[in-house]
Amino acid sequence: MKIKFMFFFIVCFFTFLPIVSAEVPLKAAFIREHQLWIIEGNKEQQLTKGRYIYSPKWSHDGRFIAYLDGDKNGENTHLFVYDAKQKSSYQPYETIETTSFEWSPTTNQIAYNAGGVLNVTKTKNGRPMGFDNVSLGTSDFTWFPNGKEFLVSSQSNLLPTGWGPIHLFKVPINANLNTEKIKPFYTIKTNTPDLFAIDANYFKWSPDHKWVSFLATPTASWSADSNTLCVLSSMGKHFQPLGNMLMNEDWIKWAPTENKLAYISGEGRFLVKDKKTTIADIPTSNHQKKYTPNGYVDLDIEWLSPDEVIVARAKENKEWKEGPVPTMFSKLYVINIKSTEQKQISFPKSSEVDIRPQVIGPYITWYRKGNRGDVWVKEGIKNHAYLWIKNVDEAPMFFSDNRL
């Protein structure tokens, strides 16, 4: 009788134990109900109140988070910086209004585009403060990996004979609007049967910094349906278009250690069909392979390892023609690009969508959208997945110091 009672007690004890998730050594900035928060492990901290926050980005050392503070429509966005050391936010310059900014890869300086003028912040007591003008006529830009120069695009001009070329420039950080310091880097001839575009956006460097990828984008209406993914060598000598895709920066990912470029190819602004995971070897970009099975679309992509990518996959909906755009109920799959083996690794409910996979060290995270948005995490593809951050507006921005 005692044994039966003890067995019953043990069963009840373990049945009613609370479910506890192991703490994850991850650090991220996220937005909840329009406000900026950070989380480290399982400890959350709210950083703003009564604002509309957009686009948080970590500095290279994790001390600062730059973000945009605007209105509910995402307009009138001004640049702010949160200083984790001082535990406060401030404006590096009070009149800075921008939608495009980027931290230096080597220092705590922010470059930003304000009405076509590229500017870079100075530093004061280790903080980004004030600014210097760099160059005019800027459409988009990125830092060179050395943190000393910028790659700058300038939109083409409409001439009586048609659209002119897109010009790319190499601009030193100390140019100070001095055109003699600014050098032509590459000219993209775009008014051709193979490539029509008026601008270049979303620059991303390969892991060895020998190539840069970007989107060549046509006029506004056309760009909503198709853009051309291109690569250019770091010396501005070798240029090649790869394929057509939507204007989605998150759909372009370099492999972690090799010059392989993963992207989601396909045309058409609606996500119901023709969105295929494609891998291109650079520079031999004519060797491209698509991995999405017939009858499916891939709607997000991330590298898990040099030989594996994670995608958010849903069934095609070719029957839809008009009316409200149907929700694409995606799940996460991992693809081995060598063996071509593919398997499902996330299991949302039928009313939920799994998107935005991100890999940080051994951890896989994603954004699950249902009645609310949550962040889920698992260590490796075989371990148990669990809820990490509740009620977030969008996928978080992670900081990684490469020690995971």
Q: What per-residue confidence (pLDDT) applies to 8?
A: 40
Spatial distance between the Cα atoms of 298 and 139, rounded to a whole number of angstroms: 30
Spatial distance between the Cα atoms of 34 and 54, rounded to a whole number of angstroms: 8
- Residue 205: phi and psi, rounded to 5, are -90, 145
Spatial distance between the Cα atoms of 313 and 354, rounded to a whole number of angstroms: 9
Please give the average per-residue pLDDT across 105-131, as a whole number.
97
Please give the average per-residue pLDDT across 192-214, as a whole number.
94
Position with higher pLDDT, 286 vs 380: 380
DSSP-assigned beta bridge partners for residue 54: 68
Spatial distance between the Cα atoms of 316 and 318, rounded to a whole number of angstroms: 6
Spatial distance between the Cα atoms of 345 and 308, rounded to a whole number of angstroms: 13
Lay out the sheet containing 35-40: strands in order across.
Answer: 43-46, 35-40, 27-32, 397-399
DSSP-assigned beta bridge partners for residue 261: 254, 280
Spatial distance between the Cα atoms of 216 and 227, rounded to a whole number of angstroms: 6
pLDDT averaged over every residue in the chain: 93
**CA angle (82, 85, 88) in 5-degree steps:** 40
Spatial distance between the Cα atoms of 24 and 375, rounded to a whole number of angstroms: 13
Spatial distance between the Cα atoms of 199 and 190, rounded to a whole number of angstroms: 9
Spatial distance between the Cα atoms of 338 and 160, rounded to a whole number of angstroms: 50
**CB neighbours of residue 387 within 10 Å:** 11
| pLDDT above 70: residue 11 | no
Buried b (16+ CB within 10 A) or exposed e, 28-66: bbbbbebbbbbbeeeeeeebbeebbbbbbbbbbeebbbb
Please give the average per-residue pLDDT across 253-258, as a whole number.
97
Q: What per-residue confidence (pLDDT) applies to 194?
A: 77
N-terminal to C-terminal alpha carbon distance within the chain = 51
Lay out the sheet containing 140-143: strands in order across.
Answer: 140-143, 149-154, 166-172, 183-188
| pLDDT above 70: residue 7 | no
On the CB side of 207, CA atoms within 13 Å amount to: 12
Q: Give the closest residue to 33 by CA, choosing from 44, 49, 21, 22.
A: 49
- The share of the chain scoring above pLDDT 90, in percent, equals 88
Buried b (16+ CB within 10 A) or exposed e, 361-373: eebbbbbbbeeeb
- pLDDT grade for 402, boundaries at 50, 70 and 90: low
Q: Give the closest residue to 77 by CA, choosing from 93, 100, 102.
A: 100
Pairing of strands 158-159, 149-154: unpaired
Buried b (16+ CB within 10 A) or exposed e, 233-262: bbebeeebbbbebbebebbbbbbeeebbbb
- pLDDT grade for 3, boundaries at 50, 70 and 90: very low
Please give the average per-residue pLDDT across 116-121, as a whole number.
98
- pLDDT grade for 16, boundaries at 50, 70 and 90: very low
Q: Give the closest residue to 153 by CA, choosing from 181, 186, 131, 178.
A: 186
**CA angle (311, 100, 177) in 5-degree steps:** 140
pLDDT of 349-373, one tens digit each?
999 999 999 999 999 999 999 999 9
- pLDDT grade for 1, boundaries at 50, 70 and 90: very low
Q: What per-residue confidence (pLDDT) applies to 22?
A: 56
Spatial distance between the Cα atoms of 364 and 24, rounded to a whole number of angstroms: 11
